[in-house]
Homo-oligomer: A and B are copies of this chain.
Amino acid sequence: MEELTARQREVLEVILAGVEQEGRFPAMREIAGRLRLSSPATVFQHLEALAAKGFLRRGGGRWSLSPRSRRDRGVPIAGRVAAGHPLTAFEEIDGYLTPEFIGARRGRFSVRVRGESMRDEGILDGDYVVVDPEAEAGDGDLVVAYLGPDQEATVKRLRRRRGGLELHPANPEYGVLRVPRGDPHFRVAGRVVGLLRRM
C-alpha cells in the first residue's frame, strides 16, 4: 500500500501519542498546535490524506484509527550488535518486546515482590512477577502462593513432600515454610512465568 510522507507521519505520530497516552483522538486544533500549524484546515488535509492511504477512518464527522495504524511492535531486541550504530539493519533484530513477549495472556496477572527471600535466584524486592493461574504448579516450580488468614502473597519455590508441601526461599537468611496437607489458608495462585524490573 501507499507510503506516507514525512509530514503525514508526523501528524499520525501526534495522533497515536494522543490515543496511547490520553486515550482520545486529538482535536484538529490540538494537532495543529503540536505541529505549530495555525489553521485546522491544514490538519484536515493531512487527515484526508491519511484516510485515503488507509491509516485513518472517517465516520460521521469523527475520525478514528484504522487497524493498520495501530502499532504493537514494541522495542526491538538487538540480536548481534556489530560495529557502528546498533539496529540499523533488520538482520540485527531478533524480535520485539511486545505485551505478548512479556507474557500477556488472558487470565494472567502480576504481583509485586516484597522482601529479599528469593534474592539468590535473581528476584529482588520491588520486582514484578507475571503469574499464570492456569499453569499446573509441580514440584520444583516457582510459584506465587497465598498464606495464612491474611492471604499474604509470597513468591517461593514449591516442593512436594510427604505429608504436604514446602515453600523454599532462595536466601539462606530465610527458612523453609512447611504447609500441612489440607491447610485451609494455603492456596497456590499460579506459576511464575516472567519477571519485570524497573530501574
Contact = CB atoms under 8 A, between A and B. Distances in A.
A198 B194 CA distance: 4
Interface residues of A, number: 61
Interface string A166-199: 0000000000000000000000010011111111
Contact of A110 (B76, B124, B195): B76
Instruction: Give the dominant DSSP class at A's interface.
Output: mixed
Interface stretch (A34-42, A44-52, A58-66): A58-66
Interface string A124-148: 1001101001000000001000100
Complex copy number for this chain: 2
A194 B193 contact: no
Contacts of A197: 102, 122, 194-196
A28 interface: no
A77 interface: yes
A83 interface: yes
Interface in A72-116: 72-78, 81-83, 86-87, 94, 97-99, 101-105, 108-112
Task: List the 6 closest A-B pairs by CB distance, nearest first.
Answer: A23-B65, A24-B25, A75-B104, A195-B197, A22-B64, A122-B122
Interface of A: 19-20, 22-25, 27, 57, 62-65, 69-70, 72-78, 81-83, 86-87, 94, 97-99, 101-105, 108-112, 119, 122-124, 127-128, 130, 133, 142, 146, 151, 153, 189, 192-199
